[in-house]
Amino acid sequence: MVVSLDFELLWGVFDRVDWREKKEYFLNTRKTVPLILQLFEKYEISCTWATVGMLFNESWEEWNLNIPEVLPGYKNRELSAYSYGKSIQNKETEELCFAPGLIKRINETLGQEVGTHTYSHYYCLEPGQTVESFKYDLVTSKKLMEKFGIQPKSLVFPRNQFNKRYLQTCKEVGIETVRTNPNVWYWNNAQTDSLPQKIFRTGDAYIGLNNKSYKDVPEIAHGIFAQKASRLLRPNSGKKLLDDMRLKRIVSEMTYAAKNKEIYHLWWHPHNFGGNPAKSLTELEFLLKHYQFCQDNWGFKSITMKDIQKSLSQE
Task: Indicate which CATH number applies to the domain containing 13.
Answer: 3.20.20.370
Question: What secondary structure letter does DSSP report for 112?
Answer: E
Sequence-separated (6 or more) residues with CB below 8 Å from residue 81: 11, 14, 54, 120, 121
CA distances from 173 to 119, 193, 200, 222, 310 (A): 13, 30, 36, 12, 20
> Which residues have C-beta within 8 Å of that of residue 56, sequence separation ≥ 6?
98, 100, 103, 141, 144, 145, 147, 148
Domains identified in the chain, total number? 1
The percentage of residues in the chain with a pLDDT greater than 70, rounded to a whole number, is 94
Helix axes 277-298, 23-42, angle to 10 degrees: 20
Q: 159-198: per-residue pLDDT in tens?
A: 999 999 999 999 999 999 999 987 765 556 655 566 767 7
* Residue 138 CB neighbours (<10 A): 26
Q: Where does the pLDDT of residue 156 fall: very low under 50, low under 70, confident under 90, or very high at 90 and above?
A: very high
The boundaries of the domain holding residue 258 are: 2-314
Per residue in 87-126, pLDDT (tens digit) is: 999 999 999 999 999 999 999 999 999 999 999 999 999 9
The string of pLDDT tens digits covering residues 54-96 is: 999 999 999 999 999 999 999 999 999 999 999 999 999 999 9
Q: Which residue has the higher pLDDT, 192 or 233?
A: 233
Q: How far apart are CA 231 and CA 250, in angstroms?
A: 8
Question: Is the confidence at residue 1, as pLDDT, over 60?
Answer: yes
Per-residue pLDDT band at 216 (split at 50, 70, 90): very high
Spatial contact of 99 and 53, defined as CB atoms under 8 Å apart: no
What pLDDT does 120 receive?
98
Please state the rounded mean pLDDT for residues 196-206. Answer: 74
Q: For the chain, give the number of residues.
A: 315
Average pLDDT, the chain: 94
Identify whether the C-beta of residue 53 lies closer than 8 Å to the C-beta of residue 144: yes
- The mean per-residue pLDDT over the stretch 129-151 comes to 98
